[in-house]
Amino acid sequence: MFDARKRSGRLRYGVTAETVCPCFMHTKERLVTEILESVGAFFRANIWIPVSSMTWKDGLDILLLAVLFYFLYSFVSVRRAGKLLFGLATVVVLYVVTGWLDLRAAHWLLSAVASFGVIVLVVIFQPEIRDALDKLGSTVFDLRSGGRSGHAALTNTINEVVEAACQIAQQEKDGALIILEGSTRLGEFEKSGIALDARVSSSLLTNIFVDRSPLHDGAVIIRGDRIVAAGCKLPLSTTDKTGLRLGTRHRAALGITELSDCVVVVVSEERHVISVANNGCLKRDYNKSMADFATGEKEIQNRLRADLFLLMTGSADPTADTGSKDSDRHRKKYRVRSTPDAGDVPEVPADADEPDVQDGSENGGEDVTSRKA
């Protein structure tokens, strides 16, 4: 009908199609043109002109800021202080909202808090600030050396820990709980022990865990190639993933690995068995008893060294001695579960005979009895 009236040249109320459609089309085209001009003006003013007038100094400035923010995010995201920063961001948002809504009392209170907030932040984040500066310096040094220093330090640390664990396992009534710290800092557990800040060595670790020594009842925390603390208290695991009755030392190893990505080496005080905990899982029986070291100490060290390097880096050590065919068969007995956080985590073998372990002495909480599962 509209087309018929349009062809007749006359619509109802005396308005022709030629007078309506051109106006509508003109308004639509003008609206689209204004939108495109606004977008173009915004692009020119905020993107094209700044980019076209940039110098190499501006590019370097942006690159440094990007690296700084990335370093800050990666540093805070793996620490418990990240939750505190989230709370701080909430306070800042509340400050802005109360000012916008003109809530005078709440806004005044938040303003008073912000007046000395910088000092409070420095006091609260003092350990994190110190660690950040230390990490920045070590990162620059590692970049200058082409990354070789970090790999060499980790290899040396693992070698010293493996040697110490095997030596302790061959001593009567000596046990050990050695933590290799990952990306998550264990600052609050470090404070529960005695600060050492000593270079990792098998002789020092062996002397720390001598029976009745002042620091043997607790965990040693290793950060990089330094023993930062000894005699540290750890949380106990509340879940039983292995189906075994574990001693206090083994449950502490599982407990700390449930909270962080660290790797823990445990030496049983009574059975002289070496175990490795990571991501809430426990791999046991690198050796069956003390007598195994008389005939296969090198093989035990090779298996333990390879697993520690795998768990700490997520890849196998290319320089490691894989050992004999018996070592390869021993590895195939273990299931390996891939996790996004901690790489490949060895678990207890499905067909192995696992001894149940009960809590023992008050000091070490070591396993004192065993039987077939």
Segment 38-62, tens digit of pLDDT? 888 888 777 777 777 778 888 888 8
Compute the distance between CA of residue 107 and CA of residue 109 in angstroms, rounded to an integer.
Answer: 5
Distances (CA, A) of 332 to 328, 344, 349, 362, 365: 6, 14, 9, 37, 31
Contact 266, 274 (CB under 8 A): yes
| pLDDT score of 126 | 72
| pLDDT score of 121 | 73
pLDDT bracket for residue 174 (50, 70, 90):
confident
Contacts of 333 (CB under 8 A, 6+ apart): 349, 351, 352
pLDDT bracket for residue 177 (50, 70, 90):
very high
Compute the distance between CA of residue 331 and CA of residue 312 in angstroms, rounded to an integer.
Answer: 18
**Mean per-residue pLDDT for 183-209?**
88
pLDDT at 160 over 90: yes
Q: What is the average pLDDT value for the chain, to the nearest integer?
A: 72
| pLDDT score of 241 | 55
**Stretch among 67-76, 80-89, 196-205, 217-226 having the lowest mean pLDDT:** 80-89
| Best CA proximity match to 312, nearest among 349, 273, 264, 267 | 264
pLDDT at 335 over 50: no
Compute the distance between CA of residue 225 and CA of residue 256 in angstroms, rounded to an integer.
Answer: 20
pLDDT bracket for residue 25 (50, 70, 90):
low
**More confident call, 146 vs 272:** 272
**Stretch among 37-41, 159-163, 366-370 having the lowest mean pLDDT:** 366-370
pLDDT at 372 over 50: no
